[in-house]
Amino acid sequence: MVFLDGDERPATPLPDPDTFGPSQEDQLADALKSVAGADINFNVDGGIGGRNVAQENAARRAFIKWARNNVRYLPANEIPEEFVWKRMVADAKSSSISTNVDYKKRFDLLAHAELGRNPSEVVSSAEILQTQQRRLADIDVTIPELLELSAAIEGFAAR
């Protein structure tokens, strides 16, 4: 199972490839490109006559079926840092962080504050992650977004 950032959730989800006939392969390819944001190339046999189109179509259909079953998006239409920041327990250190900076920068500044570092000192990405993990651990696990995430994971595990 793969979880992508909530803000990457497509307006139109991937269609069921079984509802597309052989003459609609271009529409299926366009739908995949729309959701992925780019063309996805599949390794297929080729030769003097070019790529094996039937093999490519079958690979695309298999990929879409896999993605529909295994790709999910994090709850809310937010990046993970925003999701955690908006739901974490606020304290004096987090409340002192400017709301005029993006959420990734907020966690950088919060890590500095928690570690007692000057703004000119470097905090590592591991230290920022640890700050995020601590703040995530304080979020109530019964909020709807985390219940949704838990249900998706449990449903996947039950298959």
Same domain as 54, residue 109: no
Q: Which segments of the chain have a pLDDT < 70?
A: none
Tell me if 58 sits within 8 A of 44, measured CB to CB.
no
Is 84 within a domain? Answer: yes
What backbone phi and psi angles, to 5 degrees, belong to 38? -165, 165
How high is the pLDDT of residue 93?
96
| Structural domain for 148, as ranges | 80-157
Same domain as 25, residue 86: no
Tell me 143's DSSP state: S
Is 47 within a domain? Answer: yes
* Tally of CA atoms within 13 A in the half-sphere of 106 that contains its CB: 23
Alpha-carbon gap, residue 73 to 1, rounded angstroms: 10
- Per residue in 4-25, pLDDT (tens digit) is 999 999 999 999 999 999 999 9
Same domain as 84, residue 62: no
Q: Which of 20, 43, 73 is the last residue of a domain?
A: 73
Same domain as 98, residue 60: no
How high is the pLDDT of residue 124?
97
First to last CA, the chain: 11
Does the model's pTM come out above 0.75?
yes
Is 131 within a domain? Answer: yes
How high is the pLDDT of residue 47?
77
